[in-house]
Structure 1
Amino acid sequence: MRKCRDLETRIASISNKGFQAVSIQTTISCLTLHAGDIIISSDRTLDENAPAVVIFTSGTTGSPKGAVMRRSFIFDCALEVADHYQLTEDDVALHVLPVHHATGVGINFFPSLVAGSRIEFRSGGFDEEQMWERWKQGASDTERQLTVFSGVPTIYMRMRRYYQQRISKLPADEIAKYAAGARQFRACLCGTSALPQPLDDFWKHLMQKPILQRYGATEFGAVFKMRLGDESVPEGSVGELASGVDVKLSEGDEGEVLVKSPHMFSKYLRDPEGTAKAHDRNGYFRSGDIARREGKYYFIIGRASLDIIKSGGYKISALDVERELLSLPYVAEAMVVGVPDEEYGQRVAALVSLQNEEMSAPFSASSDGSQYVLTIKDLRRDLRERLAGYKLPTLLRIADGEFPKTVTGKVQKKVLGPRFFPADYHRRPGVQEWDARSPKTLAKL
Structure 2
Amino acid sequence: MSLAPRLLRSLDPLAVAAGADIPDAVTIGGITLSRSDLLGAATSVAERVARAERVAVLARPTASTVLAVVGCLIAGVTVVPVPPDSGAAELDHMLTDSGAQAWLGEAPEGTALPVVPVRQHARSWHTYPEPGPDTPAFVLYTSGTTGLPKGVVLSRRAIAAGLDALAEAWSWTAADVLVHGLPLFHVHGLILGLLGPLRVGSPLVHTGKPTPANYAAAAGTMYFGVPTVWARIADDPDTAEKLSAARLLISGSAPLPAPVFERLAELTGQAPIERYGMSETMITLSARADGERRPGWVGVPVQGVQTRLRDEAGEPVPHDGSSIGGLQVRGPMLFDGYFGRPAATAECWTEDGWFRTGDVAAIDAAGFHRIVGRESVDLIKSGGYRIGAGEVETTLLGHPGVAEVAVVGLPDADLGQRIVAFVVARDTAPGEQELIDHVAGQLSAHKRPREIRFVTSLPRNAMGKVQKKQLGNGSPTPPPT
**For this structure pair, what is the TM-score category when the shorter chain's length is used for normalisation?**
0.7 to 0.9
Contact 1:183 1:208 in 2 (8 A): yes
- Alpha-carbon displacement from aligned partner over 1:341-372 (angstroms, at most 9, x marks no partner): 1111111101000113xx4xxxxxxxxxxxxx
Contact 2:150 2:338 in 1 (8 A): yes
Contact 2:362 2:370 in 1 (8 A): yes
* Paired amino acid for 2:468: K
Q: Is 1:267 matched with 2:337? A: yes
- Alpha-carbon displacement from aligned partner over 1:247-279 (angstroms, at most 9, x marks no partner): 322224352222222331111122222111111
Contact 2:176 2:202 in 1 (8 A): yes
How many residue pairs match? The answer is 369
- Secondary structure of the 2:369 match is strand
Aligned counterpart in structure 1 of residue 361 of structure 2, from 276, 291, 294: 291
CA distance in 2, matches of 1:346, 1:103: 34
Any gaps of 5 or more consecutive residues in structure 1? 31-36, 139-144, 168-174, 360-372, 421-427, 433-444
- Determine the structure 1 residue equivalent to 2:376: 305
Q: Is 1:127 matched with 2:211? A: yes
Post-superposition shift, 1:86?
1.8
* Paired amino acid for 1:414: K
Aligned counterpart in structure 1 of residue 467 of structure 2, from 412, 416, 419: 412
CA distance in 1, matches of 2:176, 2:476: 52
Post-superposition shift, 1:179?
4.4
RMSD: 3.3
Contact 1:87 1:112 in 2 (8 A): no
Q: Is 1:95 matched with 2:165? A: no
Q: Is 1:224 matched with 2:285? A: yes
- C-alpha change, 1:397 and 1:263, in structure 2 (3 Å) is same
Contact 2:308 2:328 in 1 (8 A): yes
TM-score where L is the length of structure 1: 0.75
* Paired amino acid for 2:388: S
- Secondary structure of the 1:384 match is helix
CA distance in 1, matches of 2:245, 2:411: 48
Match runs of 1:10-409 below 5 Å? 21=118, 23-24=120-121, 46-60=131-145, 63-123=148-208, 125-128=209-212, 130-131=213-214, 134-135=215-216, 137-138=217-218, 145-161=219-235, 163=236, 175=238, 178-231=239-292, 233-250=293-310, 251-252=316-317, 253=319, 255-294=325-364, 295-356=366-427, 359=428, 374-400=430-456, 402-409=457-464
- C-alpha change, 1:216 and 1:61, in structure 2 (3 Å) is farther
CA distance in 1, matches of 2:150, 2:133: 22
* Paired amino acid for 2:297: S
Post-superposition shift, 1:89?
2.0
Contact 2:401 2:430 in 1 (8 A): no
CA distance in 2, matches of 1:101, 1:151: 13
CA distance in 2, matches of 1:104, 1:220: 15
When structure 1 is superposed on structure 2, of 216-225 and 58-67 the one drifting more is 58-67
Post-superposition shift, 1:284?
1.8
Runs of 4+ in 1 over 6 A off after TM superposition: 1-5, 7-11, 14-17
Post-superposition shift, 1:157?
1.6
CA distance in 1, matches of 2:286, 2:266: 21
CA distance in 2, matches of 1:67, 1:10: 23
- Secondary structure of the 1:55 match is strand
CA distance in 2, matches of 1:334, 1:89: 39
- Determine the structure 2 residue equivalent to 1:423: none
- Secondary structure of the 2:473 match is helix
CA distance in 1, matches of 2:126, 2:450: 71
- C-alpha change, 1:153 and 1:320, in structure 2 (3 Å) is same
- Secondary structure of the 1:407 match is coil
Larger-gyration structure (1/2): 1
Post-superposition shift, 1:61?
5.5
What's the % identity of the aligned pairs?
30
CA distance in 1, matches of 2:117, 2:389: 52
Post-superposition shift, 1:292?
2.0
- Secondary structure of the 1:76 match is helix
TM-score where L is the length of structure 2: 0.69
